[in-house]
Structure 1
């Protein structure tokens, strides 16, 4: 586990400074994904693996001034980039491991997770931990601003049938981790899987 976390931290620490500059056009995709999550004014939402906080202003707008937004990331450099971009004003930022969150059971109405699933060391257990923090009937959005095929092409690889984000793999993975998938979109300009927390 420590080695996996170290690898993730090293990967994102090396890229934190220019992360936003590398993906300058993702804002509308984040806004649309947050809108699809269906948050209500006053909700409490976690951006799990928030990185530089690109979703945080949209989450704040969705829950309003009486809502609560938390942004958790394992990599301090990414959170520092979020502060530098002024996104800390939209949320409370936590240096935290999403595989063991410092959040009370059932405290959240929703979790937003952009690009997270590919970095989870034990996906079933880790999705179960996210489920622990969300009330029954609460929501989960697994998002990426481009689809699986476009992401694979960007990374110079092919999509394989084993890809966790493929619908036949993701649906049972979520079901075994306390979630029921309610929608699945994998298009060139976005990946978005929405799920509801089961009782």
Structure 2
């Protein structure tokens, strides 16, 4: 395992047990972001870097009982927290690296990714792997429950021009990785970039 992966695992393992309690009011923001994916009953969707699984209930509600919901995360402690919260009932939990997903190519309709992009060791390659598992014209949502400026302020830092989530950086990054960005919102109350898998 690379140093990048070890660092990510250590970071989230240390925080898993208290993650949901730290951000108790994020539920409506997750539900609104999931709505942006335009999922239909029976769709197949991956929550990439699912953490404690906060997106799994709205994803399950969107695809219904006939749909498939998978939550993949690199950190066992986060998946354990998702199970304790009962979210394993809304989707299959998978201990997996989003850089090498154990999923068939073009097997999904959509990918939801909350807070993921900042933790990707090789963003272009990693987004290309997400594109691999999504059918042509399938969708991707890159989400965070607060915007870039609000998150930077919370962390005591400044937003820098090289931030991958800046619109002028993110659109070409997605384009290099098999996606076309279709909408972009960076507001205090949310960050949400939507993209479509190109043929």
Normalising by structure 2, we get a TM-score of 0.99
> Secondary structure in 2 aligned to 1:159?
coil
> Secondary structure in 2 aligned to 1:99?
coil
Task: Give 1:193's aligned residue.
Answer: 193
Q: Which runs of 5+ in 1 are unaligned?
A: none
RMSD value over aligned CA atoms? 0.5
Residue 19 (str. 1) matches residue 48 (str. 2): no
Task: Give 1:90's aligned residue.
Answer: 90
Task: Give 2:103's aligned residue.
Answer: 103
Task: Give 2:130's aligned residue.
Answer: 130
> Secondary structure in 1 aligned to 2:36?
helix
Normalising by structure 1, we get a TM-score of 0.99
> Secondary structure in 2 aligned to 1:125?
helix
Q: Deviations over 1:48-104 (max 9, x none)?
A: 000000000000000000000000000000000000000000000000000000000
Q: Which runs of 4 or more aligned residues in structure 1 lie more than 3 Å from their structure 2 counterparts after TM superposition?
A: none
Task: Give 1:56's aligned residue.
Answer: 56
Residue 68 (str. 1) matches residue 90 (str. 2): no
Shift of 1:28: 0.3
Q: Which runs of 5+ in 2 are unaligned?
A: none
Shift of 1:2: 1.1
Shift of 1:150: 0.3
Structure 1 distance, partners of 2:26, 2:145, is 6
> Secondary structure in 1 aligned to 2:138?
strand
Structure 1 distance, partners of 2:72, 2:145, is 19
Structure 2 distance, partners of 1:40, 1:182, is 19
Matches within 5 A, 1:164-179: 164-179=164-179
